[in-house]
């Protein structure tokens, strides 16, 4: 269900902007997305799976932006400066992008893929 998956990721992202990840409740994400909790669990397996998918989605969003900037017709130095500006704007606006770029993860964010669970 691609539409449900996207709706769930949107809802999870909005929830993460409003509160720390440990306080994000699956029932609230499902309700905001307009699907059942069972659909959420079928799609992601649980909160950890939803978090991993959200991190991947943010990484893809950031990299698509970098690609878009690099494809602009400008001199190399101008394109690199534009990538730097894009990176700063993205990191300021999106906590997961900031964590991906800096490696500074805290308990308010989902665990990044490959990191396992936090102690």
Within-domain flag for 94: yes
pLDDT exceeds cutoff 80 at 116:
no
Domain of 63: which CATH number?
A: 1.10.357.10
Confidence of residue 106 (pLDDT cuts 50, 70, 90): confident
pLDDT category at 34 given cuts 50, 70, 90 is very high
Quick check: 110 pLDDT over 90? no
Residue 112, domain member (yes or no): no
User: First CA to last CA across the chain, in angstroms?
Assistant: 33
**Residue 52, both tokens:** 């991993």
Is 21 within 8 Å of 48 (Cβ atoms)? no
Tell me, yes or no, whether 107 lies in a domain: no
Is 118 part of any domain?
no
Does 113 fall in a domain? no
Is residue 27 a contact partner of residue 37, using CB atoms and an 8 Å limit?
Answer: yes
Domain boundaries, position 69: 2-102
Task: Give the side-chain half-sphere CA count within 13 A for 9.
Answer: 18
Cα angle 99, 102, 106 (rounded to 5 degrees) comes to 40
Model confidence, pTM: 0.84
100 closest CA partner among 41, 46, 60: 60
Please indicate, yes or no, if residue 74 is contained in any of the structural domains.
Answer: yes
Buried b (16+ CB within 10 A) or exposed e, 21-54: beebebebbbeebebeeebbeebbeebeebbbbb
Number of domains in the chain: 1
Residue 34, phi then psi, degrees to nearest 5: 75, 30
Confidence of residue 108 (pLDDT cuts 50, 70, 90): confident
User: What are the φ/ψ torsions at residue 71 (nearest 5 degrees)?
Assistant: -85, -5
């Amino acid at each position: 269900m691609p539409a449900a998956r996207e709706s769930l990721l949107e809802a999870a992202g909005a929830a993460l902007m409003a509160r720390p990840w440990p306080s994000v409740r699956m029932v609230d994400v499902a309700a905001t997305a307009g699907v059942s909790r069972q659909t959420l669990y079928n799609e992601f397996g649980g909160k950890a799976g939803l978090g991993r998918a959200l991190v991947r989605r943010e990484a893809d969003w950031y990299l698509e932006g970098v690609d878009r900037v690099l494809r602009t017709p400008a001199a190399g130095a101008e394109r690199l400066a534009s990538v730097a500006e894009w990176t700063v704007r993205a990191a300021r606006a999106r906590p997961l992008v900031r964590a991906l770029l800096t490696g500074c993860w805290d308990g308010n964010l989902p665990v990044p893929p490959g990191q396992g669970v936090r102690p």
